[in-house]
Amino acid sequence: MKIYLGPGGNCLTAKESSTFGSFERLKELNLNAQEIEFVRSIYLSPKAAEEVGRQAKNYGIELSVHAPYFINLLSDKKETVEASIERIVESADRAERMGAKFVVVHAAYYGKLSREEAFEKMKEVTIKIIEGIEEARIRNVKLAYETMAKESQFADLDELLRLMKEVKSKFLTVCVDFAHLYCRENGKIDYSQILEKVKSFSHIHSHFSNVKYNLKTKKFVDVHVSINSHPPFESLAKEILRRKITITIISESPKLELDSLRMKEVFEKFGYKF
Ligand SMILES: [Zn+2]
């Protein structure tokens, strides 16, 4: 087993606000992962991605990539779907060049489609993306659709696992966003059940943060906050250690690496050595 912890995006407390500055800071803090956020744009050229990969390797940092937010694979506009596929394949290309294993994607909105229609269409589109990945000679990157917070968003964990089962490709996996699953179930989470479902994965990629509670609507909303107890972290850490799994946990809290540090302290408290 191995645990990788680090921020989604560059460290906030780095001396120099750049990717390399962030790696320096991660080394100081003894953290070992970072997600490169292409959420607004794919800001690295192929060459720059290779350089980032070399640096990360020097620092012993496990990289992943988050694809742009401007993606909707279930759009009824053909151009939107095609542009979305292109953005994902381009993100995967940069990921391959930097030695990142996962490219995380917010796949889609159901829109007017029924769940079943959405599923069938996602299957088709996913196969297309994988063909694009193969054509681009990408070998080591997995497409990781993220578990999403809202009922209007594709998809929950079960649907994503079903997609993996039916598409049957080594290029497809899931990004387990614990905060999103907690929102989707409005304040409930069973870590043991979730990790049981993904126990065949050799390396689980995940996101963790806490979420806001709206007193008026009595609902948890997908607004990320620093770690307190919604959802709790300690019980997740215990379950991970009990199962001896290899997992990356990207902190998506507003405190980024500082919350990764708190996660690290929890694992160390329970006896894990980084
Ligand atoms: Zn995300």
Phi-psi region at 218: left, alpha or beta (left = phi > 0; alpha = psi -120 to 50): left
Q: How far is the CA of 109 from the centre of ligand 1 (A)?
A: 14
Q: How far is the CA of 149 from the centre of ligand 1 (A)?
A: 10
Q: How far is the CA of 252 from the centre of ligand 1 (A)?
A: 8
Q: What is the pLDDT of residue 84?
A: 98
Residue range 66-80: mean pLDDT, rounded: 97
Q: What is the pLDDT of residue 228?
A: 87
Residue range 68-81: mean pLDDT, rounded: 97
Residue 140 to residue 144: CA distance in whole angstroms: 13
Residue 158 has which token pair? 């079960």
In tens, the pLDDT along 233-266 reads: 999 999 999 999 999 999 999 999 999 999 999 9
67 pLDDT higher than 90: yes
Strands 108-109 and 153-154: antiparallel
Residue 226 has which token pair? 């620093």
Q: How far is the CA of 19 from the centre of ligand 1 (A)?
A: 19
Residue range 173-192: mean pLDDT, rounded: 96
Residue 211 to residue 220: CA distance in whole angstroms: 7
Q: What is the pTM of this model?
A: 0.97
Tell me the average pLDDT of the chain. Answer: 97
Which residues fall within 8 angstroms of residue 266, CB to CB, at 6 or more apart? 233, 234, 237
